[in-house]
Chains A and B, each alone.
Chain A
């Protein structure tokens, strides 16, 4: 899921960086005092989720959980994912510093879009579980599409690799959908205020 350094062209890196700066600015404004620790817990979850590998045929993909962050934090997913990715690149050598902007945009941008897509159904109790599943699934699907586009814009030779990446992520999308569904359902029971209005 992480694009490595030295793969993308400068315009893609710059555009990704600029979009991430804008998203992070909005995100920092959106996180109020009471939600800082929730953001920290979800950032930690995102940070360690990448260590959970899912076997996909001969290869393996890892968990991302950007959907969970998007569903709960909304725009706040931008700073959370930025910090998570920065620490992953320093400690686990996933991605890298020069691709931090584009990787953040791919994952956090997808998380915010999925948040707005499922929000109307998430606040209704009857449709909450299904909406959470869709949020988890859609966030990773969109992140894979964004990643594929980043690669193709840089070099059309990456088309095949981009297609394989999206296909390889399909089982993980389903798993993340369920993880998001169970997490949101649990939070709705024990601490429903967490699912408040993060877009404010």
Chain B
């Protein structure tokens, strides 16, 4: 009986073990530049993680970069997307089996390109060293809010851990009582 309780507890604790290191990425367009951030599940910044940009549905990378010490990255919108009404896929890959994607829709890209042509200021943005505006735009907030959608998996994992811990406590208390 005790073994069954212990086994049940371990099974219930499994979701968090599987979830522990999930890579998250989100991106937005600002004055002709694709900006973004990558982090691990729990909020830890994903430093020096490879980021690839490609057209959705096509496997060939258009551009690539790495995140900096704060988990941020930025890249100019590739010129090749001007004629293709396709969405852009941002892929973050930490190289240890953790990978995630973020989709930037064509309408958002178009808006970003329009702003770029309207203002020559965009050309001064150093894509390797994001400007102080990085992280303060409305576009960023909008993208971040999309990221923060809580999945049913997270909720179930949390509930499983609570009941797993309760099961473990019951098991330990019962064992102490018997001994």
- What residues make up the interface of A, taking CB atoms closer than 8 Å to B? 33, 36-37, 39-40, 43-44, 47-48, 51, 83-84, 87-93, 96
Contacts and interface: CB of A to CB of B under 8 A. Distances in A.
Contact of A51 (B41, B150, B161, B165): B150
Given A36-B166, A36-B170, A48 B159 contact: yes
B157 interface: yes
Where chain A touches its partner, the secondary structure class is: helix
Nearest to A48: B155
B169 interface: yes
B170 A91 contact: no
Contact of B155 (A33, A37, A51, A83): A51
Given A40-B163, A93-B42, 18 more contacts: A33-B173, A33-B177, A36-B166, A37-B166, A37-B170, A43-B162, A44-B162, A44-B163, A47-B158, A48-B155, A48-B158, A48-B159, A51-B150, A91-B19, A91-B155, A91-B158, A93-B43, A96-B43
Contacts of A37: 166, 170
A40 B148 contact: no
7 contacts: A37-B166, A37-B170, A39-B166, A40-B165, A40-B166, A87-B161, A89-B42
Contact of A92 (B150, B165, B166): B150
Contacts of A83: 162, 165
B31 to A, nearest CB: 28
B16 interface: yes
Interface in B67-90: none
Contact of B148 (A84, A93, A96): A93
B126 interface: no
Interface string B135-165: 0000000000000101000110111011101
A171 to B, nearest CB: 23
A91 B159 CA distance: 11
Nearest to B155: A48
Nearest to A50: B150
A68 to B, nearest CB: 15
Contact of A91 (B150, B163, B174): B150
A90 B159 CA distance: 13
Nearest to B169: A36
Most buried by B among A33, A84, A88, A91: A91
Nearest to A39: B166
B129 to A, nearest CB: 23
A5 to B, nearest CB: 8
